[in-house]
Structure 1
Amino acid sequence: MSCGMFDESRDVIEYHPIPLWITPFFFAGSYMKKRIGKTSIAEHKKTLLPSDEVPNYFSQNNLFARLTYLVFWYLYVMLETPRIILYSLKKKPDLFYGYEVYGARVASIAGRILRKPVVTRFQGTPLKINEQRNWNTLYPHGVLGLKSKADAVIMANDGTHGDAILERLGAPKEKIFFWHNGIDINFVINTQHGEELEKRYDLNKKTVLLSVSKLVLWKRVDRAVWALSALKTDYGVNNAFLFVVGDGTERAYIESLAVKYDVSDSIHFAGAVPHEKLWTYFTLADIFVILQDVGNLSNQVFEALSFGLPIVSLDDGSTTGILKNQYNALLIKKQNIETDVPRALAMLIKNKKMREGLASRAKETFASSVCTWEERMEREQKLLNTLINNEHKTSY
């Protein structure tokens, strides 16, 4: 929720986050939304099957919550835009950079009024590509933000089909820069922590599965827990162990599933883990599991590839260009989750040669297709400089 300004001549980037005076409105709205603006999904969870899809974040919001978002969006844009414009008359920036659906509209308006190039950037989108008829109803402020006029729109390629959604909202294809995020490859492995975990869970005798994500319902970590149970009951695999790294609103629910499926002794819930300890879990893992309802191309997938982990995920179109079935991953059709996820895991656990082949090609994929954050930001810097030096600046 921010707007930035770039001054090439002085090599200065100014960052303008949400103003302090607006925060009381933000927190009041957020509190009320949580209290009365959410549609309960408690009943949904009682009957949730691995093959089911859950309501996404915004479809859980009732009318009050959606109006709260929309009112706050208009409030922010109407009050922040004139402030940025007046400030810019003094600072004379070369470019406006709007981040996410709030900052994007402010940067867009300021740039057009002051005749400066505009870049907007989005970290994926919660909109579903096949539910266009519901976009304005479920996510009205988000649609307005995504439609902000710009000379370049940077959309993270995280598997949520943001490029296609931008095109449907009117963005010219040539102005969309659909880039993967970079990752930090300067790993510092905490060997002591790894040795402690190996000893505590006797990992030398086990095949280690790894899940890394926020524990919210649509991330579907429940599928990994269920699959661990299916490995035991359907395939006689008793040496699998699952690390669940991450925290969130559904942690208690997912932990209760471990008890329900009788696999508590085969799971370690690590909670939120700092980066200096996160890499330890990747070094201990044999297989990476990501089975989200939406967008299975998170940064954790790139990190798993960098560590040479074979990946079990969904064949939902979100990982195209990075994950390839039977090459560096085993990809499962959504309609076959209940049969094929445990089958794929059992195959990898029992077939070490297959696992090692996928692992080797995972590293090759990382080397050829994934950039570091330094490389990713160099690409963006080049784009910004091109826009600044272009004499004919026209936002769509």
Structure 2
Amino acid sequence: MKILHISALPIWSMNGRGGMPSLRETLNGHLREKHEIIFIAPEYDLFSDDLSPIPGVRGSKYGIEIAKCSWLLPLKRFRRHIRKMRESNSLPSPFRWLINMSILFFLTVTFLLKAFKVCKKDAFKPDLIYAHNQYSALAGFLLGKLWKVPNVTRLYGTFLADLMAKPFVSLRYPTAAAGYLVPSSLLICTNDGTRGDEVARKFRISQKRFRFWQNGVEPPSSPPKMTREDFLTRNPKLNINSKWIVSCSRLSYWKRIDRMLNALVVCKKEGVDCQLIIAGDGPEKENLQNIAKKSHIEDSIVWLGAVDHDDIWGLLNVSDVFTITNDVTNRCNPLYEAAWATLPVVSVKDPSTSDLLIHGENALLADKENPTALGQYLCQICRNEKMKEKMKDSQKRLSASFWTWEERMKAEVKELEKVIRPLGR
């Protein structure tokens, strides 16, 4: 197949290094099955107020084409101005609706123009249009109609599940609903704990064209050889003798890294020799650093920034505990990888992970608004080697049930081939 990918999401969003492994592994999976792809992505991050282009875009094997989105800069400035006036990260509903709809409209036009230009230049006649994220769905549908090829929409979660009982959901949140309601030959939704399958049922999406799949895990090709000493040479602030509590996350508000900071305060009061190692970058970094400074724990935190994915495996391999404290869902790639690395987990109680994390077996789980309990659990696992080893064994059994990304993508490619087969392509 020749697959044209259009994506509202960048492959690498964090200084050209970290980003969305699920998007990257999708592209890798299509290439691994010998399909030819072109990937079109916007020049700027649609969802942050940063006015600079996404830095350090890498990966020529993906045939990356950058769509210029100069129209986005005034919208970003307007959004940032409104937030500054309100002294809040949230926007009033009318402004949010207007901005999101404007992004959807202009991005659709941009993708259409860029797709025709790229395909004409490269004599690339696609067999399939693959749209990543709801903001790309409309462009994917229109390109499919114009070229008379199937279109696939890929959603990486949703916030609509708890809103579906309210009236006029599709009108109040049209961009989020577009991922479901824009016609597609196949709709693939990630099982990430945001209950996208419930949303699909309420929107009456035909189960014949709906796939609800958990992400895979891409284990290292060989056991990580990096040692604590190797990490120490890169960041002298690391203490080789401390317990290492690791977090791998984009620093966005809903990731609630502040919960980890509050838990670390408890650890320090209890005299536990530990360091919180935060791998990731994002808009909340400065705010989090200020919280750490006010709480007098800045010396116990190591900010690694964006980290190459291979090095993440090395970091997990030499750490003692993994922690994740998201608001919306904690069922995500870093959790799968921590389980694969057999790390005990300290997290928050979350229905989305109830089949993955069992309190006392492979994890210790606190109420979301109880930082004291979260901190005490971190102390407990740092001090109790016997409990730690027991949890490592439980994680090994859990990870044996996971798809690898290769397995996950083989299943997807089979579905894509079924989609184009009726057209005789």
How would you bin the TM-score normalised by the shorter chain?
0.7 to 0.9
Alpha carbons of structure 1 residues 87 and 245: separation in structure 2 relative to 1, 3 Å: closer
Report the more deviating stretch, 322-331 or 83-92: 83-92
Alpha-carbon displacement from aligned partner over 1:43-66 (angstroms, at most 9, x marks no partner): xxxxxxxxxxxxxx7x54653343
Report the more deviating stretch, 356-365 or 179-188: 179-188
Alpha carbons of structure 1 residues 195 and 378: separation in structure 2 relative to 1, 3 Å: same
Report the more deviating stretch, 220-229 or 130-139: 130-139
Partner of residue 312 from structure 2, selected from 267, 278, 285: 278
Matched to 1:380, the amino acid is E
Q: How many residues align?
A: 370
Alpha-carbon displacement from aligned partner over 1:120-178 (angstroms, at most 9, x marks no partner): 101222x1522333855764322223321123211122222222223223322343212
Give 1 or 2: higher helix fraction.
1
Percent of residue pairs identical: 28
| Alpha-carbon distance in structure 2 between the residues aligned to 1:196 and 1:83 | 44
Partner of residue 258 from structure 2, selected from 218, 222, 247: 222
> Is the Cα–Cα contact under 8 Å of residues 39 and 62 in structure 1 kept in the other structure?
no
Partner of 2:420: 388
Question: Is 1:232 the equivalent of 2:235?
Answer: no
Alpha-carbon displacement from aligned partner over 1:68-122 (angstroms, at most 9, x marks no partner): 2202312343575588689999966433322211322222244356654332101
Alignment of 1:310-389 (within 5 A): 310-334=344-368, 337-369=370-402, 371-389=403-421
> Is the Cα–Cα contact under 8 Å of residues 127 and 150 in structure 2 kept in the other structure?
yes
Alpha-carbon displacement from aligned partner over 1:358-391 (angstroms, at most 9, x marks no partner): 111112211222x222222211111111222246
Partner of residue 281 from structure 2, selected from 229, 232, 247: 247
> Is the Cα–Cα contact under 8 Å of residues 189 and 279 in structure 1 kept in the other structure?
no
Partner of 2:81: 35
Partner of residue 69 from structure 1, selected from 100, 124, 127: 100
Partner-residue secondary structure (3-state), 2:401 = helix
Partner of 2:139: 106
> Is the Cα–Cα contact under 8 Å of residues 314 and 333 in structure 1 kept in the other structure?
yes
> Is the Cα–Cα contact under 8 Å of residues 157 and 190 in structure 2 kept in the other structure?
yes
Partner of residue 158 from structure 1, selected from 177, 184, 192: 192
Partner of residue 149 from structure 1, selected from 167, 176, 183: 183
Alpha carbons of structure 1 residues 14 and 251: separation in structure 2 relative to 1, 3 Å: closer
Matched to 2:97, the amino acid is R
Alpha carbons of structure 1 residues 364 and 201: separation in structure 2 relative to 1, 3 Å: same
Partner of 1:130: 162
> Is the Cα–Cα contact under 8 Å of residues 2 and 102 in structure 1 kept in the other structure?
no
Alpha carbons of structure 1 residues 271 and 195: separation in structure 2 relative to 1, 3 Å: closer
Partner of 1:54: none
Question: Can you give the 5+ residue segments of structure 2 that lack an aligned partner in the other structure?
Answer: 8-29, 43-64
> Is the Cα–Cα contact under 8 Å of residues 181 and 299 in structure 1 kept in the other structure?
yes
TM-score (ref. length: structure 2): 0.75
Alpha carbons of structure 1 residues 383 and 39: separation in structure 2 relative to 1, 3 Å: farther
> Is the Cα–Cα contact under 8 Å of residues 272 and 379 in structure 2 kept in the other structure?
no
Matched to 1:376, the amino acid is R
Q: Indicate the RMSD between aligned Cα atoms, in angstroms.
A: 3.5
| Alpha-carbon distance in structure 2 between the residues aligned to 1:76 and 1:251 | 28
Partner of 1:203: 240
